[in-house]
Chain A
Amino acid sequence: MNDKVISLLCGVIFSLGLVVSGMTNPSKVIGFLSITHNWDASLIFVMGGAILIFAPFFYFLKSREVSTLGMEIELPSKQEIDKKLVIGSALFGVGWGLVGLCPGPSISALTSPGISGFAMFDPIVIIFLFSMAIGILVNKNLLQKTIQNKN
């Protein structure tokens, strides 16, 4: 198995997890974010379950230099707790609260049939994905370059 087959497989398993836990459903996520009204704590179990599986594996694997497929281990350099981290997370939080979609579920939502009307490829999900891609490109091409030029 090469890394391409594995990537596809990992994407499938990841999205099965999202669907089984109900996380591709924005109203389920809004239920978690709705702390003062009919709170649904399920999302904590999704994140908690995933962390409990990943954390011990990571602890034993982190000192390796190459992966089992012989690829370089790519870990983010130690991230500083700075304005970018806090402001970026806050802006993401506003967007997440407005719609109830974060990046993973927004892609899987393409093929999760909606209750109202459109069976699949709901135009509202497609519009969300386009807007998200523009947001990513604005950060990458405008903001990060401006920051680089200043330094």
Chain B
Amino acid sequence: MNNFTPYSALLGGILIGLSIVLYFYTTGRLAGVSGIVENAITKKANRISNILFLLGLVLGPLLYCYTKEPLAIAFTLPDHSFTITDSYPLVIIGGLLVGFGTRLSGGCTSGHGICGIGRLSISSLIATVVFVGVAMITVTILQQFGIYL
């Protein structure tokens, strides 16, 4: 486990938790991202509010880029750059399945995994166990073909 970063993970988790609390406390809605995306695309009610939440998701990393150096004096923060597969078929199939699957089951990592489990919802707990389990199996199978090793 040489990549294990428990402190920054916990700090990030606390920030996500605070965002979900603030959103629920003020708007009365749960911040499940797949639901917000669906509503932003398909529903007129609260559309601007939903789009602004998504805009916030885009602005956060930019803000991080500019505040990282002063913050780094106090904390050791991980690099924000990322690596992603360059396989178009993988990304297209993956995107379709993520969009379709999350809305069929009614939630994603935030909606079921955080909000749902936080509400002590049994169905969200089952959903989370299923998608984490299946994703682990998927990665293990891909590794048999030399991908993601």
Contact = CB atoms under 8 A, between A and B. Distances in A.
Interface of A: 1, 3-28, 30-31, 33-55, 57-58, 61-62, 66-69, 71-76, 78-81, 84-104, 106-116, 122, 124-125, 127-140, 143
Contacts of A44: 9
Contacts of A114: 81-84
Contacts, number: 502
Nearest to A100: B84
A63 B67 CA distance: 38
B101 A131 contact: no
Interface of B: 1-6, 8-31, 33-34, 37-38, 41-42, 46, 48-50, 52-65, 77-78, 80-86, 88, 90-106, 108-110, 112-115, 117-124, 126-128, 130-140, 142-143, 148-149
Given A96-B131, A108-B60, A136-B99, A17 B136 contact: no
A7 to B, nearest CB: 4
The listed residue with most B CB atoms (<10 A of its CB), out of A61, A106, A113, is A106
B101 A92 contact: yes
B37 A21 contact: no
Contacts of B108: 92, 102-104
13 contacts: A11-B57, A14-B15, A14-B60, A26-B82, A49-B16, A51-B117, A67-B27, A86-B127, A95-B93, A103-B33, A107-B57, A109-B82, A113-B81
